Amino acid sequence: MPQLSFPKPPPGFEAKKTRILHDLAVPEAEYTDASPKGTIDTGIRDLISEINAAEGFVTTSSCAGRVSVFLEGRKVAADVHGDAGSASQVAGVGGKGAGGTWLFVSHDVVEGENWADGLALRGNAEEEEEEEEEEGRRLIHFKFEPMILHILTASPSHAQALLQAALQAGFRESGALNITPQADSSTTPVVAVRSMGLSFESLIGFESSRSGSRHALVTASHLRLLMGIARERFAENSKRIERFRGAFANRVLESREKRTNSDGREWEDAAARRERMREEGLRRREALRGGDGETSNGASNE
* pTM listed for this prediction: 0.71
Asked if residue 200 lies in contact with residue 229, where contact means CB atoms within 8 angstroms, the answer is yes
Burial of 148 (0-12, 13-18, 19+ CB in 10 A): buried
Domain boundaries, the chain: 11-257, 270-302
Burial of 12 (0-12, 13-18, 19+ CB in 10 A): middle
pLDDT tens by residue, 263-302: 555 555 555 566 777 788 888 888 887 765 554 444 444 4
Measured CA to CA, the distance from residue 24 to residue 59 in angstroms comes to: 10
Q: What is the CATH number of domain 11-257?
A: 3.30.1960.10
**pLDDT tens track, the chain, 302 positions:** 445 678 899 999 999 999 999 888 766 555 444 455 556 788 899 999 999 999 999 999 999 999 999 999 876 654 444 444 444 444 444 445 557 899 999 999 999 888 988 888 887 555 555 555 556 789 999 999 999 999 999 999 999 999 999 999 999 999 998 877 666 667 899 999 999 999 999 999 999 888 888 999 999 999 999 999 999 999 999 999 999 999 999 988 775 544 445 455 555 555 556 677 778 888 888 888 776 555 444 444 44
